[in-house]
Structure 1
Amino acid sequence: MTTARKPYPSDVSDDEWLLVMPYLTLMTETAPQREHSLRELFNALRYVIRYGIAWRAMPNDFPPWAAVYQQAQRWMAAGCFEALAQDLRVLLRMASGRPPDPTAAIIDSRTLRSSPEGGTRAGYDGAKRKRGSKVHLAVDTLGHLLALHVTPGDVGDRTAVKRLAADIQDATGDTATLAYVDQGYTGDVAANAAAAEGIALHVDRLPEAKRGFVLLPRRWVVERSFAWATRCRRLVKDYERYAATLASFHVIAFVGYMLKHVAQIMQGA
């Protein structure tokens, strides 16, 4: 599909759109109230997340910002991107010769500094010395999204394990039995919360003779996943009024990277 405008680097490709369209079509294309192309609305949403603009700063060659915002809210409320992320992860795992559902996960968190929009729900993370929101992330051993949720920055990593472990099992169909974590997840609270969901925590510790940066086995995978997300400028700080929006924007960012890889596999098939 071509548009009258010049393309942006964040635009979805034809192959990617074939993959994503069935998940975003909440009603038929011939519905009388539809005024804007679904593909253009999706491109505009990707543009907002990738380049970190305010909604009202939407380029004039996209649909009006209000239309993009409203459609994005419908997609997020319907769980479209979570469903797409799960299916893309299965495709990428099978293409890599892995079973569809993983038995191991990697868990970590990062704290995003607050902005005036999200300041009312921000918390102070003493370990990172930041006030903001904390993104708790679980990925498989390839770095693909399994589960994600957002809390105030003062919520400890151990406290978040129970919900994250339940989300992991929901995403994998209870196949996960092991999760790699760092030393922030030590102790009985985290271990018992994970064990209640059938997951054993494996704490990767820094060597005692550490000097400088040390790459920990397995743990670097989730750090790379966070690095993928930070390429989206909307995700380098907490610019969102609602925690659910911040979580959904992270899911959309991960969907973008997985879409690209699946499309490349399709082209080479």
Structure 2
Amino acid sequence: MDERKPYNTDLSEPEWAVIKPLIAAWKAQHPSVSGHQGRYEMREIVNALRYQNRTGCQWELLPHDFPPTGAVRYYFDVWKRDGLDARINDVLRMMVREKAGRTADPSLVVLDSQSVRAAAGVPKSTTGLDAAKKTPGRRRGLAVDVIGLIIAVVVVAASVHDNAIGTALLNKVVASTGTVRTALVDQGFKNSVVDHGRTLGIDVQIVERNPARTGFVPEPIRWRVEQTNGLNMLERRLARDFEHAPSSSESRIYWASAGRILRRLAGTPARWREA
């Protein structure tokens, strides 16, 4: 097949040079029973996922010059189940932190949740109503470091309380890094999260707003998680929750995060902003 014309979301050569060893290692650990090496380039599979994240298109509307939809969807599901998406994000996060002169793993994280509407067709059994914000859909919980890099993601029904989200995030933080000692949360998180953090060796601090301040006033350090939520919403696949399974929503966030980190590492501009 002739080489296709590039899309703005395609991996640049420096970006692919960073991520290629991670995917090659996964391929080596998961050889085909028949010994077949695969018909499609892994770079093109990732390009298709990046295109879909940015444009928000449905599976069957992926452009025909990408690998077939079935192949792209197969790798998305397999990488999600194997946790490759989260591992890629972790490795890239460590690389960019070290490049910035920081330790590979953080000692402090910031937790927050965001309610988003679910698209038509998303199973009712996986959604709910955020009564406070009157938002039907799902809630995304994030744990980020002080420069806004994602450490952990949790996606649940919007009716789930911040306490459950905070507890799940802390468990994931501990599973991915053993260095975190402090977590900052807003007033939506209650003492049960503080107590759970104590059992994990993490000091959870509830940051209260100054009642004398009116309007939107960014809280020191905590604003980083708000910024990360905002950056995620620039990916049209994340503007609403289109995924049937919450685990797929989590995977989309990891891929969005990995894309931003790759640009930092490779020094490439966000070309899709021009679209």
Spell out, residue by residue over 1:12-45, the C-alpha distance to the aligned partner (whole angstroms, 9 max, x if none): 1111111112222343699536222111111011
Counterpart secondary structure, 1:227: helix
For 2:117 and 2:156, the matched residues in 1 are separated by 13
CA contact (8 A) 2:194 2:205 kept: no
- TM-score calculated relative to the size of structure 1: 0.92
Question: What's 1:143 paired with?
Answer: 148
Question: What's 2:207 paired with?
Answer: 204
Counterpart secondary structure, 1:110: strand
CA contact (8 A) 2:142 2:153 kept: yes
For 1:257 and 1:119, the matched residues in 2 are separated by 30
**Unaligned segments of structure 1, at least 5 residues:** none
Cα deviation for residue 206 of structure 1 reads 1.5
Question: What's 2:41 paired with?
Answer: 37
For 1:200 and 1:32, the matched residues in 2 are separated by 50
Question: What's 2:27 paired with?
Answer: 27
Q: Size of the alignment, in residue pairs? A: 261
CA contact (8 A) 1:161 1:194 kept: no
Q: Which residue identity is paired with 2:16?
A: W
For 2:127 and 2:161, the matched residues in 1 are separated by 13
- TM-score calculated relative to the size of structure 2: 0.90
CA RMSD of aligned residues (A): 1.8
2:78 matches 1:79: no
**Unaligned segments of structure 2, at least 5 residues:** 269-275
2:64 matches 1:47: no
Q: Return 16-25 or 104-113, whichever deviates more.
A: 16-25
Question: What's 1:110 paired with?
Answer: 114
Structure 1 residue runs of 4 or more that deviate by more than 6 Å after TM superposition: none
CA contact (8 A) 1:106 1:140 kept: yes
For 1:165 and 1:184, the matched residues in 2 are separated by 15
Question: What's 2:182 paired with?
Answer: 178
Q: Which residue identity is paired with 1:216?
A: E
Give the % identical residues: 32
For 1:105 and 1:33, the matched residues in 2 are separated by 40
2:249 matches 1:246: yes
Q: Return 86-95 or 25-34, whichever deviates more.
A: 25-34
Task: Summarize the alignment of residues 254-265 of structure 1 with structure 2, pairs less than 5 Å apart.
Answer: 254-264=257-267
Counterpart secondary structure, 1:124: strand
